Structure 1
Amino acid sequence: MKLYKLSLLTVVLSGTVFAQTQKFTMAEAVNGLRTNLAVKNISQFSWSEDGKSYIQAVKNGYLITDIKTNKQDTLVSLSQLSSSFSGKKLEALPPVKFFNNSNAYFTADDQMYWIEKSGADWKIKNTVSLDKDVSNVEILGDNETIAFTIKNNLYLNKNGKTVAITNDADENIISGQAVHRNEFGIEGGIFPSPDSENIAFYRMDQTMVADYPVIDWSVTPAVNENIKYPMAGKDSHQVSLGVYNIKNKSTVFLKVDGEKDQYLTAVTWSPDSKYIFVAVLNRAQNHMKMNQYNAVTGELVKTLFEESNDKYVEPQHPLVFFPNSNTEFIWQSQRTGYNHLFHYSLEKGLVSQITKGDWLVTDILGFNEKKKEIYFVSTKESPLERHLYKINWATFKMQRIDTEAGMHSGVLSSDGNYIFDVYSNSNTPRVANIINTNTLKYNNILTSDNPLKNYQRPEIKNISLKADDGTPLYGKIILPVNFDPNKKYPTIVYLYNGPHLQLVTNTFPASGNLWYEYMAQNGYIIFTMDGRGSSNRGMKFEQAVFRNLGTTEMNDQMKGVEYLKSLPYVDADRMGIHGWSFGGFMTTSFMLRHPEVFKVGVAGGPVIDWNMYEIMYTERYMDTPKENPKGYAAANLLDKVQNLKGKLLMIHGAQDNVVVWQHSIKFIKAAVDNGVQLDYFVYPGHEHNVIGKDRVHLMQKVTDYFDEYLKK
């Protein structure tokens, strides 16, 4: 009996040892958090219309849960819907969008289905066939009418009849789609009025923009597919805003004064559907007008306010009207140095600044009208975290809603009485709570297991350094597993350090990326840090790179290099660097402008010459090439290729329509002209990012390159 117990203990212990030594495969390191290592989540969460229950997707159905009793019922199931289909079986339940507990819609097999509850079952109420080229589908507030685009034109379907809102034969005149290359927070181009009687829409004329070839290599002979790509300093597209009256089948265009190539963003309807508000930003991006237009005539009513900055203004959010008000609204602005909430009135102008401080609001979640409270997400506790807050818009009393450290996101019920709070931190894969916004008591509805618990995990340290002006810089160092402080290790710096992205936050996993951990399992130190220019630290932090992209960022990253070199276990002769997009630009910049620092670099999708990047982004941070020739010259890497000393692998997607392939092609030509050797790899069929199963190939390529030239 004693021998049996000992044998059993040996089995248990050996299992534990095995679990602790399990390593990631490359596929797991790249795609594992979206596949077999995905953290359990509440799927397709939404609140019921009355805010008293919530809906979630489960296998083959949707559950509805009563907030007060926690009683769960099946709202709709695959078998219920399948019984309504005649002649064919619904094999799987597609995502269902609920208008309320009795009405919903979904899309399957190029058809839109409106369904409604009938007794214990659900019946198909209406269907609309969709053309195979349909995109940008928008359902109006009446829950019946839909607007959508087919190729470059905008259409409407009401009562089963489809009407063309636009009919432009020239494919370079585009309606109903996102414009300005999705800058300024623009996500779409269709804006239905609250009363469902009108549709505002973007119309983009890009006939004046130069054609740019993108070659499809998958066919023989290869086929050229031109796109319109407005490069810095060149001709840009021209955008207007139309308003289509559904009843009259007529369109008026807003009479927007100013430059033809200015930017129109933050498009917002007034709740009474009488007016449209537009942020009109000049091409120089240093002056914005918030204009009010009559939706019937298109005439300018008035300019509500203006914002200007000696560097740039970047409106990114539409107006948010207070509940049951046609005149009071919230405007988000960075005018004080951080994105904050400002209360405006159409009659009185600026009423108050609602939120204040050296932190920023990242998202507005909604209102509790009875308590005069606004709910939002912010960086108030730390730029490395996000937390949920409420503030009274009359007294400005503010209170944090959540309690735990980490990155929180929230979905507010329609009445503002409950919030769905989901968070993770370095030690917590995911927790979901329903919080009562009045009492702040919560009900836990999910605490996810750690899907990485059986894997060999590295030690991760949070690092805080200082820029040359004293600004704190936050980073992480990931030590090799089985770390020996008496050994020296090859070290890789992974960076982005460009606008609108933050790499270092308190989230799960603590590393931020399983590929970092894969490399740590294989004997590397990984270091990553957000320098000035990156996101969520305020305007001064972001604007430090203005007119000189690549310089301040490198100065900050050099602080990271100095820190690494101060560590006895970092092998300063075996340091590598890797980044993609802006990170690819930074990687290449380091290899050429500080060639003594890194032995090996891998640059993906890199900007090589900012003259060849898009107008909206480039001119915001660099002005035009004519206005800032020194800045463009300093950042241009084509005339610096002769400085390369280390090994450099450059990678590009052959169909890249963001950082066009010509960037790295011209770099290769410059290398040939200067007798400089480098390594190069192309991913046919991929645009700016290599995704899906091919990303495993990409990261194996990157890893092999470091193993070959850095690890030895």
Structure 2
Amino acid sequence: MKHLNLTLLFCIIATQIGVAQRQIQQEEIWNGTFRTKVMQSVNSMEKSNQYTRIERIAKDQQEINLYNFETLEKAKTIFSTSAFQNIKSIDTYVFDHKEEQILIGTNSTSIFRRSALADFYLYNPTKNTLVKVADHKIMEPTFSNDGTKIAYAYQNNLYVYDVASQKTQQITNDGKKNHIINGISDWVYEEEFSIVRMFDWNKDGDKLAYVKFDETDVPEYSMDIYGTGLYPTQDKFKYPKAGEKNSLVSIHIFDLKSGKTEKVNLSEFNDFYIPRIKWTNDSKYLSAQVINRHQNDLKIFFIDGTTLDKKLILNEKDKAYVDVNTLTFLDNNDFVWQSERDGYNHLYYYNKEGKLVNQITKGNWEVTNYYGIDAKNKKLYYQSVEEGSIYRGIYSIDLNGKNKQKLSDNLGTNNAIFSPNFQQFINIYSSNKTAPTYTLKNSKSGKVVKEILNNKELENKLVDYNLPTKEFIQIPTVNGLQLNAWVMKPKDFDPSKKYPVFMYQYSGPGSQQVADKWNDSNDYWHAMLTQKGYIVVTVDGRGTGFKGADFKKVTQNQLGRYEVDDQIIAAKYLGTQSYVDTNRIGIWGWSYGGFMSSNVLLQGNDVFKMAIAVAPVINWRYYDSIYTERYMTTPQENAKGYDDNSPITHAEKLKGRYLLIHGTADDNVHVQNAMAMIESLVQKNKDFDWLIYPDKNHGISGGNTRLQLYTKMTNFILNNL
């Protein structure tokens, strides 16, 4: 009897120890406590089987070091800031094609999401010389193929710097802020086509092609910048909203020998985009992608750089929209292209005349990343979701579509950096339970050669926190469709109790939040909420990605309909679980997720008790042309689609608690959205909370901003859910 009591007591103590948790503090989420170790700025070297990376040696010293891919041994230090006082930190670096010179960027100043100005220095490792390319900050400096010249942008014009003479030639002269941009994308191209540099050298280095943006007639958006002065200032920039005028774009080719610039004739097109230009491996031909404003008809041309004659090489059409991809050329100018034409994103092989040779990958799954081709062995390497849409694996396959081989071992998320000769690759692996691990693998067999870096130290640190793990489940919706979801429960979860549920989602077209990978900052915050007794759930509804084109494109012309339905359906499904308190279900999201959480609270006012919307789109009429029209066409064509699912339309339905958050300097989703929602709710005499961050952009960060923001949200949840 005594033995039984001792055993029972031991079990009780063991159970208590098992659920003991060190409480996550908000400060820890944002001060780097949970930061993972990474390999920073890894670049494969084309001329040798090596790679370079930036490493911090001391607080005030950084190095660019060269490593051997086969042994992982450090070969040498190529550059050190300790030797040159002009460079305090290395923000970016790039080698010329011969790998004999390096452009090093420092003192960077961000412009928008992807663009920046920086001081750039040209470093010659052999001569140990450092020369500043310009006496002011510049954008996107790019070597010519032979390394003798550097093209760059400055104040909306293009320049060419001659390495030998150290002289600079101005190529364009008409650049003017908010009017003409040469060789650099305008705001909406940068944001939605994910591109900044819109100029490119041909292989011989005697021609420079670029796109000119005439944004003179594009409507202007202005933001008050409050700063610390007595009077605010104002920032004005061109921002084409849905249905408004876009930049007029054109392609130009500058001939360095003659000094002349010629314009490519695109007069057969009207109201179009040029999302990509790229010289082919034949120095004579420039490839250019032209897509109509609806973005459902993409044409790829090869343009003769001398005669400017153009030939249609490929025409991709879709009833909804065509995703823009970058062409990958083989040595003979054949190319690899990605397409959803069979219902899933796959790789296709074309010859240089634009004739389809064969479809390389096939199946009811999607290619999620294409790493390149080993031209010698005609073998391609890619990442896909073949093991399930929440996972990522690494594969190889022959150019003819045969001999597919899986190269990653562990189920979760695998990324890769391949050696220049494709004999080895660095596999970056993580999962919900495993922090990022870097290993060197053999490209033929996928076998591990050596571990490079792991995050065991972080994993050991997290033992005391006893974090909850994500349970990956599927939630049924209409017509038998299953939605990917994860559930995070308190570690002392008791199925006989009732718990409040807090949902998180993004839900934008082609996005994904339910993936088996390591934690981000939101995951730690959600884990903290489970320590306070909440169940946290994320559901990827219809319209999200990696489950085929039909699943993704069902939301076409009616953003906010099916996605909202699915979150409400998911909440109702969760409410059928015995451990869920149906009177305490909340939701939050950022950007598109804020649009969603606002709509869900209003349209599902009998299901949701509260919602938080951070930087939300409130009306798609206020958002940019390229993104919005890709999924909605224009407001002039689809007014009902724009208005039916705007939160403003449903403001009268507000019952639960609502917190609206926005930054005044959000160049992406303008604070105008929040102001429109506030005014609508005020006129409906609705009680709600709102928080405005002066001079903060779409990320709402800097200093203690994130800490204060998430503390505010935490308190709102505790008080209202």
Tell me if TM exceeds 0.5.
yes
Answering whether residue 548 of structure 2 is matched by residue 546 of structure 1, we say: no
- Once the two structures are superposed, residues 569-619 of structure 1 have per-residue CA deviations (whole angstroms, 9 ceiling, x without a partner) of 221111111011111111111122121111111111111111221111111
- One-letter amino acid matched to 1:540: D
Answering whether residue 715 of structure 2 is matched by residue 704 of structure 1, we say: yes
- Once the two structures are superposed, residues 7-66 of structure 1 have per-residue CA deviations (whole angstroms, 9 ceiling, x without a partner) of xxxxxx99x96995322221323x35xx23222222332333344333344333344443
Q: 1:39 aligns with which of 21, 36, 39?
A: 36
Aligned to 2:389: 383
1:553 Cα shift?
A: 0.5
Answering whether residue 478 of structure 2 is matched by residue 473 of structure 1, we say: no
Q: State the secondary structure of the residue aligned to 1:540.
A: helix
Count of residue pairs the alignment pairs up:
681
- One-letter amino acid matched to 1:600: M
Alpha-carbon spacing, 1:511–1:603, altered in 2? closer, same or farther (3 Å): closer
1:192 Cα shift?
A: 2.2
Alpha-carbon spacing, 1:39–1:272, altered in 2? closer, same or farther (3 Å): same
Alpha-carbon spacing, 1:541–1:437, altered in 2? closer, same or farther (3 Å): same
- In structure 1, runs of 5+ residues without a counterpart are 1-12
Structure 1 contact 503–530 (Cα < 8 Å) conserved: yes
Structure 2 contact 507–593 (Cα < 8 Å) conserved: yes
Structure 2 contact 49–420 (Cα < 8 Å) conserved: no
1:645 Cα shift?
A: 0.5
- One-letter amino acid matched to 2:711: Q
Structure 2 contact 47–99 (Cα < 8 Å) conserved: no
Counterparts in 2 of 1:442-457, with a 5 A limit?
A: 442-443=448-449, 444-449=451-456, 450=459, 451-457=461-467
Structure 1 contact 239–261 (Cα < 8 Å) conserved: no
Answering whether residue 493 of structure 2 is matched by residue 491 of structure 1, we say: no
- Once the two structures are superposed, residues 252-292 of structure 1 have per-residue CA deviations (whole angstroms, 9 ceiling, x without a partner) of 22212344420112322111221112221111222222222
Structure 2 contact 45–99 (Cα < 8 Å) conserved: yes
Q: 2:432 aligns with which of 426, 431, 437?
A: 426
Sequence identity, in percent?
A: 30
- In structure 2, runs of 5+ residues without a counterpart are 1-12, 58-62, 108-117
Q: State the secondary structure of the residue aligned to 1:534.
A: coil
- Once the two structures are superposed, residues 520-568 of structure 1 have per-residue CA deviations (whole angstroms, 9 ceiling, x without a partner) of 1222111101111112222111111111111111122123212210122
Answering whether residue 210 of structure 2 is matched by residue 201 of structure 1, we say: yes
Alignment partners' CA distance in 1, 2:661 and 2:170: 43
Counterparts in 2 of 1:310-329, with a 5 A limit?
A: 310-314=319-323, 316-322=324-330, 324-326=331-333, 328-329=334-335
Aligned to 2:26: 26
Alignment partners' CA distance in 2, 1:348 and 1:649: 53
Q: State the secondary structure of the residue aligned to 1:518.
A: helix
Alpha-carbon spacing, 1:106–1:530, altered in 2? closer, same or farther (3 Å): same
Structure 1 contact 50–415 (Cα < 8 Å) conserved: no
Structure 1 contact 427–510 (Cα < 8 Å) conserved: no
Aligned to 2:114: none
Q: State the secondary structure of the residue aligned to 2:479.
A: coil
Alignment partners' CA distance in 2, 1:101 and 1:283: 40
Alpha-carbon spacing, 1:37–1:130, altered in 2? closer, same or farther (3 Å): farther
Alignment partners' CA distance in 1, 2:546 and 2:103: 37
Counterparts in 2 of 1:97-116, with a 5 A limit?
A: 97-99=94-96, 103-108=101-106, 111-116=119-124
Alpha-carbon spacing, 1:144–1:399, altered in 2? closer, same or farther (3 Å): same
1:634 Cα shift?
A: 0.8
Alpha-carbon spacing, 1:595–1:115, altered in 2? closer, same or farther (3 Å): same
1:169 Cα shift?
A: 5.3
Q: State the secondary structure of the residue aligned to 1:561.
A: helix
1:399 Cα shift?
A: 1.0
1:189 Cα shift?
A: 1.7
- One-letter amino acid matched to 1:28: E
Q: 1:137 aligns with which of 134, 141, 145?
A: 141
Q: 1:336 aligns with which of 334, 342, 346?
A: 342
Structure 1 contact 153–167 (Cα < 8 Å) conserved: yes
Alignment partners' CA distance in 2, 1:564 and 1:58: 47
Structure 2 contact 588–613 (Cα < 8 Å) conserved: yes
- Once the two structures are superposed, residues 134-192 of structure 1 have per-residue CA deviations (whole angstroms, 9 ceiling, x without a partner) of 22333333335222222322222223222222222542211121244332443432222
1:410 Cα shift?
A: 1.0
1:649 Cα shift?
A: 0.8
Counterparts in 2 of 1:148-297, with a 5 A limit?
A: 148-159=152-163, 160-168=166-174, 170-171=176-177, 172-179=179-186, 180-182=188-190, 183-218=192-227, 219-297=229-307
Alignment partners' CA distance in 2, 1:141 and 1:264: 24
Structure 1 contact 503–512 (Cα < 8 Å) conserved: no
Alignment partners' CA distance in 2, 1:676 and 1:89: 57
Q: State the secondary structure of the residue aligned to 2:436.
A: strand
Alignment partners' CA distance in 2, 1:65 and 1:381: 33
Answering whether residue 365 of structure 2 is matched by residue 359 of structure 1, we say: yes
Aligned to 1:49: 46
1:468 Cα shift?
A: 0.5
Alignment partners' CA distance in 2, 1:504 and 1:287: 31
Structure 1 contact 262–280 (Cα < 8 Å) conserved: yes
Alignment partners' CA distance in 1, 2:682 and 2:87: 58
Alpha-carbon spacing, 1:187–1:560, altered in 2? closer, same or farther (3 Å): farther
- One-letter amino acid matched to 1:407: T
Alpha-carbon spacing, 1:274–1:19, altered in 2? closer, same or farther (3 Å): farther
Alignment partners' CA distance in 2, 1:647 and 1:637: 15
Alpha-carbon spacing, 1:24–1:333, altered in 2? closer, same or farther (3 Å): same
Q: 2:132 aligns with which of 127, 130, 136?
A: 127
Alignment partners' CA distance in 1, 2:497 and 2:101: 64
Structure 2 contact 360–401 (Cα < 8 Å) conserved: no
TM-score, length-scaled by structure 2: 0.89
More deviation, 235-244/69-78: 69-78
- One-letter amino acid matched to 1:113: Y
Alignment partners' CA distance in 1, 2:272 and 2:354: 28
Aligned to 2:5: none
Alpha-carbon spacing, 1:671–1:70, altered in 2? closer, same or farther (3 Å): closer
Aligned to 1:438: 444
1:470 Cα shift?
A: 2.2
Q: State the secondary structure of the residue aligned to 1:696.
A: helix
